[in-house]
Amino acid sequence: MKDLTFETLIAVFEEIFGRALFWGMVAAAVLVTLAYLYVLIRDRSISWRKFLLAQLSMPVGAVAAVWFVLHMTHSELANMGGPIDWIVLLGIAAAGAVGFAVLVYTLQSLIRRPRTTAPAERG
């Protein structure tokens, strides 16, 4: 592989995960991102309580992402050889943690709408 192009990366991911699963994950990521943007626009502010709960869920997302990739590639942690393997593994964990936090925050916001104050009566 001489050049690392976007098309090459897509081909590699399709080979690892399978075409249907890969594009399903892309679609899920797009849907969660759009839902997150909708929640931010709708609420016009960040709920710090929901944000804290989302941050506390990040280790779950990191472990799940690493486990998922290791399972799909039929690898184990014992197979990690050089520094680049560990750097990629840490990148996968970071992406899983952030993605899961966004998912948790979005689901919390969609399930429980923020309290709205009634407009003051004019008299």
* Segment 98-109, tens digit of pLDDT: 999 999 999 999
**What's the pLDDT band for 114 if we cut at 50, 70, 90?**
low
Residue 113 pLDDT > 60: yes
Which tokens in the block code for residue 53? Answer: 């709960």
H-helix or E-strand spanning residue 94: helix 83-111
Residue 87 and residue 47 in contact, taking contact as beta carbons nearer than 8 Å: no
Distance CA 61, CA 77 (A): 17
